[in-house]
């Protein structure tokens, strides 16, 4: 008790604080999300996500070089195709936008880890993450297409595939098809506990993937549920997920912590578009210090238990950490 105990003793100087710091951020744990579009020399700003762009493959290669040179080991790619239809054909087209981008980026940067988002929502005419039958998102017929998409990404050279659709059984189906096609060493990072969140709003502008009707609550998780996340994660690991993700991150730090404490696979957290945009907006208004809040938020996500952080702040945070 006081005066014997004085926690302030360890806070006296920055050197001392650093010595006893429990959580350290490094660019090594960041994954930078990128949006690829058809064309050449295209770099469209995304209005709700300042400093983020939709880029054609040639521009994406430049950005990927920049990312890698900052010490960030990985990117995750989202594709905006030329053509959308009911069956999401462009998602598993070997000359599709993501497949083309993966090839070009791996050619230029063989050591950069290229992750692909495996989902149908960017490729379906209706914007849902699965096939529609009788007005409902049909689980089982969607699995085949997701597996075809994952294999086409692997064939293009993806190191990691990341299913984000939240259909039941997709990790197992993807693992099986990858193995059957000779891609047993391709890693699966599953969006295991993915919530039906309003924080995805800006992303849907970026990826042009807002659902044309209804919402995603029949497949993404209810934000009110905590134990269910452990069930989702357990199932994905049983089916073969190598890394599991919690998404979003900030409003779900309890879930990140639960997953970290209950499982031994690496845990990723997605610091999603809305979490990024609200900090950017407040900073533009002069209401928050962007750099300080960014570092605080990323530290909190790591402190909660995230080994890997997917974040639109990756480049900015890496620059700061490297300086
Ligand atoms: C695709 C997908 C989404 C995000 C990642 N993959 C959108 C969604 O589920 O609606 C969101 C990422 C973000 O908000 O930054 N299913």
Mean pLDDT, the chain, rounded, equals 97
Q: What is the pLDDT of residue 91?
A: 97
Question: For residues 319 and 69, what is the distance between their CA atoms, to the nearest angstrom?
Answer: 10
Compute the average pLDDT of residues 132-159: 97
Ligand 1 pocket residue status of 121, Cβ below 6 Å: yes
155 Cα to the center of ligand 1, angstroms: 23
203 Cα to the center of ligand 1, angstroms: 6
202 Cα to the center of ligand 1, angstroms: 9
Strands 267-271 and 308-311: parallel
Question: For residues 309 and 153, what is the distance between their CA atoms, to the nearest angstrom?
Answer: 22
Mutate to test the pocket of ligand 1, among 200, 272, 297 (most ligand atoms within 8 A of CB): 200
With cut-offs at 50, 70 and 90, classify the pLDDT of residue 197: very high
**Residues classed as catalytic:** 194, 247
Pick the CATH number of 25-322 from 3.30.950.10, 3.40.50.150, 3.30.420.40, 3.20.20.70: 3.20.20.70
Tokens standing for residue 152: 């086409």
Question: For residues 131 and 140, what is the distance between their CA atoms, to the nearest angstrom?
Answer: 9
Range of lowest pLDDT (29-43, 88-102, 164-178, 205-219): 205-219
Question: For residues 204 and 223, what is the distance between their CA atoms, to the nearest angstrom?
Answer: 19
Ligand 1 pocket residue status of 129, Cβ below 6 Å: yes
7 Cα to the center of ligand 1, angstroms: 42
Strands 243-247 and 267-271: parallel
Model's pTM, two decimal places?
A: 0.97
Question: What are the CA-CA distances from residue 222 to residues 1, 226, 253, 256, 257 (Å)?
Answer: 44, 9, 15, 16, 18
Question: For residues 247 and 91, what is the distance between their CA atoms, to the nearest angstrom?
Answer: 22
Q: Classify burial at 11, counting beta carbons within 10 Å of its beta carbon; exposed 0-12, middle 13-18, buried 19 or more.
A: exposed
Binding residues for Zn(2+): 119, 121, 129
Question: For residues 75 and 308, what is the distance between their CA atoms, to the nearest angstrom?
Answer: 12
Ligand 1 pocket residue status of 119, Cβ below 6 Å: yes
Compute the average pLDDT of residues 141-148: 98
Question: For residues 175 and 188, what is the distance between their CA atoms, to the nearest angstrom?
Answer: 8
**Nearest CA residue ID for atom 7, ligand 1:** 200
Structure confidence by residue, pLDDT tens digits, 270-295: 999 999 999 999 999 999 999 999 99
Q: What is the pLDDT of residue 288?
A: 98
Cβ atoms < 10 Å from Cβ of 63? 18
**Nearest CA residue ID for atom 2, ligand 1:** 164
Tell me if 141 sits within 8 A of 112, measured CB to CB: no
Residue percentage of the chain with pLDDT more than 70: 100
**Nearest CA residue ID for atom 6, ligand 1:** 164
Q: Which atom of ligand 1 is nearest to the CA of 312?
A: 15
Ligand 1 pocket residue status of 203, Cβ below 6 Å: yes
Helix (H) or strand (E) run with residue 278 in it? helix 273-284
Range of lowest pLDDT (70-74, 166-170, 204-208, 309-313): 204-208
Question: What are the CA-CA distances from residue 57 to residues 87, 101, 125, 292, 299 (Å)?
Answer: 24, 5, 23, 33, 32
Question: For residues 218 and 142, what is the distance between their CA atoms, to the nearest angstrom?
Answer: 14
Compute the average pLDDT of residues 57-65: 98
Q: Name the residue ranges covered by the structural domains of the chain.
A: 25-322
Q: What is the pLDDT of residue 135?
A: 92
Give the rounded distance of the alpha carbon of 169 from its chain centre.
Answer: 20
Tell me if 31 sits within 8 A of 313, measured CB to CB: no
9 Cα to the center of ligand 1, angstroms: 44
Helix (H) or strand (E) run with residue 161 in it? strand 160-163
Ligand 1 pocket residue status of 312, Cβ below 6 Å: no
**Nearest CA residue ID for atom 11, ligand 1:** 200
Question: For residues 188 and 239, what is the distance between their CA atoms, to the nearest angstrom?
Answer: 10
Compute the average pLDDT of residues 17-41: 98
With cut-offs at 50, 70 and 90, classify the pLDDT of residue 16: very high
């Amino acid at each position: 008790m006081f005066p014997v105990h004085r926690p302030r003793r360890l806070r006296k100087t920055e050197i001392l604080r650093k010595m006893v710091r429990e959580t350290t951020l490094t660019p090594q744990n960041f994954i930078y999300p990128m949006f690829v579009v058809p064309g050449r020399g295209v770099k469209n700003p995304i209005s709700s996500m300042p400093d983020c762009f939709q880029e054609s493959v040639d521009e994406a290669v430049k950005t990927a070089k920049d990312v890698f040179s900052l010490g960030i080991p990985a990117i995750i790619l989202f594709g905006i195709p030329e053509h959308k239809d009911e069956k999401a054909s462009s998602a598993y087209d070997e000359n599709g936008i993501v497949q083309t981008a993966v090839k070009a980026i791996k050619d230029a940067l063989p050591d950069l880890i290229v992750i692909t988002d495996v989902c149908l929502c960017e490729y379906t005419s209706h914007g849902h993450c699965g096939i529609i039958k009788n007005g409902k998102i049909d689980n089982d017929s969607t699995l085949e297409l997701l597996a075809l998409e994952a294999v086409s990404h692997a064939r293009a050279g993806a190191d990691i595939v990341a299913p984000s659709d939240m259909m039941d059984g997709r990790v197992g189906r993807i693992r099986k098809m990858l193995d059957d096609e000779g891609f047993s060493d391709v890693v699966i990072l599953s969006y295991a506990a993915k919530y039906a969140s309003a924080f995805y709003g800006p992303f849907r502008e970026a990826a042009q993937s807002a659902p044309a009707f209804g919402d995603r609550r029949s497949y993404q998780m209810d934000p009110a549920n905590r134990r269910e996340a452990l069930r989702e994660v357990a199932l994905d690991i049983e089916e073969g997920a190598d890394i599991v993700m919690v998404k979003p991150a900030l409003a779900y730090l309890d879930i990140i912590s639960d997953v970290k404490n209950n499982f031994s696979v690496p845990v990723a957290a997605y610091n999603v578009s809305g979490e990024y945009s609200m900090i950017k907006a407040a900073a533009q208004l002069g209401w928050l210090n962007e750099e300080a809040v960014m570092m605080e938020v990323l530290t909190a996500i790591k402190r909660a238990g995230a080994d890997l952080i997917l974040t639109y702040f990756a480049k900015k945070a890496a620059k700061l950490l490297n300086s």
